[in-house]
Amino acid sequence: MEPNATLTALRDFCAERLGADLADRFVRLARPGFALTEAGPGEAAGRSRFGGRAMLEPGTEWPTCDGFPLSLIAVLDTDALAPWLDGVLPAGTGLLNFFYLDSDSEHADPAAMEVSRKLDYLDPQPGRVIAARSAHAVETAPPARSSVFDPVPWAASPGFAFPDTYDPAWKALDLGPDVDDMARVMPDTYIYDLLTDWSERPGALDSEDIAFGRPEFPTGSAPLLPNDDDPNLYHHLLQLSGQGEWYIGGDGGWMHWSIPTEALRAGDFSRAIPTPDIW
């Protein structure tokens, strides 16, 4: 099903349970995204994958943090994903390379931990996103001390993501004049109490690893950004719940990268930042 047809089916599903007006307002919170799962033969979304080598244009500098090389975590092939994203990012964006400072995996150089200890939780330096035009990108060998993870190609199943429980995006939802104060304080609870079969909706994203869409925060937090920036002005790029070889520290953690929406529309991925969720 193509995105407009899926969105219409999703709106109809919600209208049967919320009424047409509230359903229309609620579905405006939906953002197109992809559930990422390990690809079988012939299922890969272009060159999208976890791990492997970076796909960079010749002459691109390898990103560093305080002089220490970051590690390639994932690649998204936006040429394969673009038809579902409906203008979310510029045409021809190509491959997005996601980097982070690996200080916790079994591959990590011990010196990376010393670098990470100097950094604040919200410091953007440990992460970077670098775009490369597909026709020009080549596999690029990492510098010494940068971790390399076994590549896992991704299949990408399209759908629509909604805000997580404490996401400030809920504040924009008008529930109508007849709801009580508790519903206004907890709009997500009010909505999902009415959508008792929510898991059966059209366009559900059934994966903890997600491209684009909206982030999930299992710690019960919300998107945390440097300088108290408004999360509503950012767009989500990638969520990783954890992989066999790599995790971001703490007792557990999910990794996210986000970007100001106006930078995304301009194709300026130098402004993308990591927004990790660690407990």
Give dist(CA 11, CA 240) in Å, integer. Answer: 28
Give dist(CA 169, CA 230) in Å, integer. Answer: 10
Give dist(CA 119, CA 111) in Å, integer. Answer: 14
Give residues with Cβ within 8 angstroms of 263, minimum separation 6.
269, 270, 271, 272
CA atoms lying within 13 Å on the CB side of residue 167? 23
Q: What are phi and psi of 246, to 5 degrees?
A: -145, 140
Q: Which amino acid is at 43?
A: E
pLDDT in tens, 20-69: 999 999 999 999 999 999 999 999 999 999 999 999 999 999 999 999 99
Confidence of residue 249 (pLDDT cuts 50, 70, 90): low
Class of the CATH-defined domain 3-278:
mainly beta
Q: Which of 169, 172, 277 is nearest to 216 (CA)?
A: 277
Ordered by start, the domain boundaries in the chain are 3-278
Q: Which of 97, 103, 106, 107 is nearest to 74 (CA)?
A: 97
Is the Cβ–Cβ distance between 162 and 210 less than 8 Å? no
- Adjacent-strand bridge partners of 157: 35
Measured over the CA atoms of residue 121, residue 125, residue 126 and residue 131, the dihedral's sign is positive
Which pLDDT score, from 0 to 100, does residue 223 have?
Answer: 72
Is the Cβ–Cβ distance between 260 and 271 less than 8 Å? yes
C-alpha 172, offset from chain centre:
21
- Percentage of the chain with pLDDT > 90? 76
pLDDT in tens, 264-276: 999 999 999 998 8
Give dist(CA 153, CA 49) in Å, integer. Answer: 4
pLDDT in tens, 80-114: 999 999 889 998 999 999 999 998 888 889 999 89
Give dist(CA 255, CA 274) in Å, integer. Answer: 7
Which pLDDT score, from 0 to 100, does residue 246 have?
Answer: 67
Is the Cβ–Cβ distance between 276 and 240 less than 8 Å? no
Which pLDDT score, from 0 to 100, does residue 253 have?
Answer: 72
Q: Which of 231, 175, 230 is nearest to 31 (CA)?
A: 231
